[in-house]
Amino acid sequence: METSSPFFTPTENEEALIAVAREFASEVLGPAEHSVDTESQPAKAYTSPEYKYAMAESYRLGLHKMTLPESCGGLGIRPTVHREILEILAGEAPGLAATLVVTPLAALLIALFGLEKRHKFYKDYLEAFVEDKNGTHSSCWAVTEPQLGSDLMNTESPAPPAFQTKARWNRAQGNYVIDGTKSAFVSNAWRADSILLMLRVDGPDSSGPGAFLVPADLPGTVKGMPIDKLGLRALNQAEIAFNDVEVPPEFLLIPPSEERFSFTGRLIVTAGNTSVGTLAVAVASSAYRQALAYAQQRLQGGKPIIQHQLIRMKFFEAQRDLEAARLMLQKSAWLIERGTPDLALAFSARHLACTVGLDICANMVQVLGGYGICKEYGVEKAYRDIKLLQIMDGTLERVALTAAASLYDGPAVVAVPQHR
């Protein structure tokens, strides 16, 4: 399917990069994703040679640092091109592609906020991350809690999020002490060696929501086992508990109640929803392609089933909806690239992609009849994977309510500071 549009105009070099990503996705990521998906024990899957090989090869190619600025050793890939590459990777391996989306978060924030000047850990981390060719360094975003899910994005309530995870200032030691537990859904938590942690901060002068960017091996930090789940099984997810974890004040990324808290949250969620929508388009497109090939050769009623109008109509509707969703996602990425990210548009695009995506995957299973539910055929996996995309980075209900509120309360536009 032709994917260029007014919002996606790659250069020749970018086209070449996209071609490399396409080959890598089908030769390396796809087989690894299949192997991890079919392993019944998640911990075994994420330590398997197939998983480790796929991650190491991804890092060798630079896929872990695609979005990092070149000035920090990253590839500096534009958001519109990154979106395209993500769709290609996720067409073969959505769980591994999702892992690669969250992987650079810590490095990105170090680069965005110039943190490497603040603490040696940040400088060492950024250098080690960009040089990493084994898949050793990666990060996660720990925000949701066992009792705090959708309410994190509750735009109808003026109250700040009611975090149970708290950092209290310890005047005697001159450091913070963190206590609390983040939900079992934190993407890449099991693998991450650096955590963006959003919580309540009770500082020496003020209290409120804030954020730390901390090494994952601080004493008292305990990770749960990776969860066993329906789909996106190649994306590891786990709980993180903080038991009296002592943290130096230099690791406080966003002090209590600063405007930067909602700015950072909105920026992550705008880019995150554009990525989640892109994963949905990729998964549904992949199911579409597989079902189309099947429908062209499966004979019933004396002819290939694609020639039956009721079957053909499913492909027409799928193609129509995928084209519309992709175009909206391309526009969202284009706005991020221009420095005017639009949260409401990202939510709308992701909502459309995940809504039509689930319908498309269900229809593609239907096209294969009984064979559609068998693991040998990829549509079964697509149907399982896409459901998670309706919950990740805010449930569809929550993002719709927030986007709807912006129609009345003004556009949810996030101002982005320039890279150094």
Ligand X SMILES: Cc1cc2nc3c(=O)[nH]c(=O)nc-3n(C[C@H](O)[C@H](O)[C@H](O)COP(=O)(O)OP(=O)(O)OC[C@H]3O[C@@H](n4cnc5c(N)ncnc54)[C@H](O)[C@@H]3O)c2cc1C
Binding ligand X (rule: CB under 6 A), the pick from 59, 176, 185, 190 is 185
Question: How many Cβ atoms from other residues are within 10 Å of residue 420's Cβ?
Answer: 10
Nearest to ligand X of 181, 187 (CB atom): 187
> Is residue 138 at the binding interface for ligand X, with CB under 6 A as the rule?
no
Written as six digits, the tokens of 404 are: 């709807």
Nearest residue to the partner ligand X, using Cβ: 149
Binding ligand X (rule: CB under 6 A), the pick from 27, 131, 228, 397 is 397
Q: Which of residues 96-135 bind ligand X (CB under 6 A)?
A: none
Residue 138 main-chain phi, psi, to 5 deg: -165, 170
Q: For the residues of 200-221, what is the DSSP string, one character each?
A: EEE-SS-EEEEEEEEETTSTTE
> Is residue 343 at the binding interface for ligand X, with CB under 6 A as the rule?
no
Contact by Cβ (8 Å): 283, 357: yes
Q: How far is the CB of 317 from ligand X (least distance, A)?
A: 25
The closest of 52, 34, 161 to 93, measured between CA atoms, is 34
- Give the H/E segment covering residue 181: strand 175-187
Provide the residue count of the chain: 420
Residue type, 269: V
Binding ligand X (rule: CB under 6 A), the pick from 81, 112, 142, 356 is 142
Q: How far is the CB of 183 from ligand X (least distance, A)?
A: 6
Contact flags string 233-272 toward ligand X, x per CB under 6 A: ----x-----------------------------------
Q: How far is the CB of 117 from ligand X (least distance, A)?
A: 28
> Is residue 392 at the binding interface for ligand X, with CB under 6 A as the rule?
yes
Nearest to ligand X of 144, 286 (CB atom): 144
Written as six digits, the tokens of 337 are: 């690239």
Nearest to ligand X of 153, 295 (CB atom): 153
Binding ligand X (rule: CB under 6 A), the pick from 85, 100, 101, 186 is 186
| Strand 175-187 versus strand 166-170 pairing type | antiparallel
Number of chain residues interacting with ligand X (CB under 6 A)? 22
Rounded Cα–Cα distance for residues 309 and 315 (Å): 10
Q: Which residue has the tokens 């991890």?
A: 36
Written as six digits, the tokens of 179 are: 């206590």
Q: How far is the CB of 383 from ligand X (least distance, A)?
A: 15
Rounded Cα–Cα distance for residues 49 and 28 (Å): 12
> Is residue 404 at the binding interface for ligand X, with CB under 6 A as the rule?
no
In 74-178, which ranges are continuous DSSP H helix?
79-92, 94-102, 105-113, 120-131
Stretch touching ligand X by CB under 6 A, among 12-20, 185-193, 240-248, 350-358: 185-193
Stretch touching ligand X by CB under 6 A, among 61-69, 241-249, 327-335, 397-405: 397-405
Stretch touching ligand X by CB under 6 A, among 26-34, 180-188, 206-214, 378-386: 180-188
Contact flags string 351-390 toward ligand X, x per CB under 6 A: -------------------------------------x--
Binding ligand X (rule: CB under 6 A), the pick from 90, 143, 247, 328 is 143
Q: Which residue has the tokens 């526009």?
A: 331
Binding ligand X (rule: CB under 6 A), the pick from 35, 136, 150, 164 is 150
Written as six digits, the tokens of 47 are: 């330590």
Q: How far is the CB of 315 from ligand X (least distance, A)?
A: 28
Binding ligand X (rule: CB under 6 A), the pick from 398, 403, 406, 412 is 398
Rounded Cα–Cα distance for residues 86 and 108 (Å): 17
Residue type, 105: L
Written as six digits, the tokens of 253 are: 């990324």
Which SS3 state, helix, strand or coil, does residue 197 take?
strand
Q: Which of residues 270-309 bind ligand X (CB under 6 A)?
A: none
Which SS3 state, helix, strand or coil, does residue 242 take?
strand
Rounded Cα–Cα distance for residues 326 and 127 (Å): 35
Q: Please report, as ranges, the residues that interact with ligand X according to CB under 6 A.
A: 140-144, 149-150, 183, 185-187, 232, 237, 388, 391-395, 397-398, 401
